[in-house]
Structure 1
């Protein structure tokens, strides 16, 4: 100790402080102060001062550690979680309390005052948490309530300081409420999935992401989610198949295409809900990821077959039907903007639009009207009438 004092070194309290040795040392030097020898008495007084300074510094260190741990134990978002800090806090408080059996040391570290101070702080913390959690509960702020519940659970190890179970009781009180909220959340998720409301389902699920999912509820969510998405993909493909041969003829209204667009948007929404995607099996997830490309291919094939029909109309000089077919396909393409991305469809659209726009000019080039014998096959009068209809 003299060497440390002489070199003004900072005391290291990383190891276990031995209260017994420190207490005996204090008692010994106090007795030495009472002897008649002046030199011994002077040395005893100096040693006593050094000892007390060391013990007081230990008390300050202990108090600072308790303050640091106390602050972190109340932070639900502290790195590593508050539980480890609450545990270390309890250890430090027990360390302080254990010094009671060493009166001289306990007096040096102001044990009575320090323990009373931290008992008061713990009580104040309980009162604040109780009030705050009641407010969160009454306002329906489940996320904030869960954060506070993490803190209460961590601090429950401090109940022994007060000799009661107040933190444990507080935890049990609101944990049961959280469980009820979770049950309600599961119902909301399942209800949203049943109507393909994947955004709402994902949002609700994210609100309870930090809570352990009940396995039965999780299985039900996974089952309903996969069933819903598989059915949605199947229904959408059926609606697309139904369009074959109908778009260019204009035999459908806007509803089927609007339903296809709406379904694809639902699929996109589901894909953007990462927490929902994490629940799916590999096959369903892959099917979803490839779904838009499949629909693009199916719709592109339908449009291209429609162009083939338009080409047949044009080859048979049925220009009105070709123009109407082109208009019908154009309307469908506009409704399906962002869904059909085929470059072949884009090129064919441009090609047939140009053909229809230049049909009169092309006819004069391709048809030799000087051959009268051919008039019975393509009467010029009929051609002119048909061209006037689309001009």
Structure 2
């Protein structure tokens, strides 16, 4: 009797029904021994029953007071635990009618069942409200006030329905936002609202995964969807970011420096904002590769383009490259200004040398060289056209004079 009573009244016990049945059997056996007067007397049966009656009476009073205390203080978990004890001890009521009369443990349990029903209704309304607002941690906490029994099954069924609908909608919206970034993730600076929503929803799913009451409510397919959600978002974002990095690489390859710099700036900001909720080694490596290329791009341009042969100006117009460098410099990327100045001076020197060489050529070659210089002149930036315009005019005059001499001869 003592062992089973201790198990039932232990607040950490989870299976009181098993000990309740054993306690009833043990007390029934003790009480039935009074049919054997001699044995009952030798075992001090009457005194044992009297002692247990006193202990049950005292515990009944303690239990009632404690339940009132927990009800007033709002300690719902503790209150429900004591209610479970009262229900389990109801098995001894029929042996304690002398001391408890009609106010036994069953009566104590029934008395507070009304309070439990009220708490469950209030908790249900709170849970539904929290789910609607996406406050899943609060919903999980409020769920603790709903006892899982047949009378509350309708509450739990409705909560499960609303919870799964809410989570499904949130995950679909998040996937839609993530997909919408593909193709423009590097262009739009105004992606912050979408990124914030994605981060917040990933965090909500993480919270749900760590709340056992909510997880226990959901069916297996929903659990799988939630467990796979973050990985799916990772894959969608990785694809979008890699496509953005490919666009940046294309701009680098065609010397669109400003676009490459701006898009990389956007992507780096986005990756910082996603840092706590997204990771991809492939994206990380590609990002570092392009960052390195951009950091050395201005110097690489000086190595790649010497503009020594003016006959190649039509194929690789200096004007176009210088315009792109100037555009990047004006856009706030100062390192391109030095490359612009260096190339401008290099082209000026090379073009000037080409003009000087014309005068040294034989009369037969001079006309062809002048035509070549005039053709290359077209691809110079406006600043250099102004510098060389007078010399081009002089070459035109020289060419005209040469033609007149040939005709005179």
CA distance in 1, matches of 2:155, 2:167: 18
What is the aligned counterpart of 2:64 among 130, 138, 145? Answer: 130
Larger displacement relative to structure 2 (108-117 or 251-260): 108-117
Query: Size of the alignment, in residue pairs?
Result: 323
Q: 1:176 to 1:307 in 2, by over 3 A?
A: same
Aligned pair 1:269/2:203, yes or no?
A: no
Larger displacement relative to structure 2 (125-134 or 66-75): 66-75
Cα displacement (A) at 1:84: 2.7
Matches within 5 A, 1:195-210: 195-206=133-144, 208=146
Q: 1:109 to 1:385 in 2, by over 3 A?
A: closer
Q: Which residue of 1 aligns with 2:123?
A: 185
Larger displacement relative to structure 2 (312-321 or 287-296): 312-321
What is the aligned counterpart of 2:309 among 371, 386, 389? Answer: 371
Cα displacement (A) at 1:147: 2.0
Contact 2:127 2:138 in 1 (8 A): yes
Q: 1:373 to 1:173 in 2, by over 3 A?
A: same
Larger displacement relative to structure 2 (352-361 or 86-95): 86-95
- Structure 1 residues 132-159: Cα deviation after superposition (integer angstroms, max 9, x where no partner): 2221222222222222222222322333
TM-score (norm 1): 0.74
Contact 2:131 2:162 in 1 (8 A): yes
Contact 1:90 1:157 in 2 (8 A): no
Aligned pair 1:260/2:198, yes or no?
A: yes
Q: 1:241 to 1:80 in 2, by over 3 A?
A: closer
SS at match of 2:217: coil
TM-score (norm 2): 0.71
CA distance in 2, matches of 1:286, 1:179: 33
Q: Which residue of 2 aligns with 1:162?
A: 97
CA distance in 1, matches of 2:325, 2:48: 108
SS at match of 1:358: helix
CA distance in 1, matches of 2:46, 2:231: 74
Q: Which residue of 1 aligns with 2:326?
A: 385
What is the aligned counterpart of 1:321 among 250, 253, 259? Answer: 259
CA distance in 2, matches of 1:79, 1:218: 21
Contact 1:246 1:252 in 2 (8 A): no
Larger displacement relative to structure 2 (216-225 or 105-114): 105-114
Work out which of the two has the higher radius of gyration on C-alpha atoms and give 1 or 2: 2
RMSD of aligned Cα (Å): 2.6
Unaligned runs of 5+ residues in structure 1 are 1-65
CA distance in 2, matches of 1:318, 1:248: 14
Unaligned runs of 5+ residues in structure 2 are 336-409
Aligned pair 1:242/2:180, yes or no?
A: yes
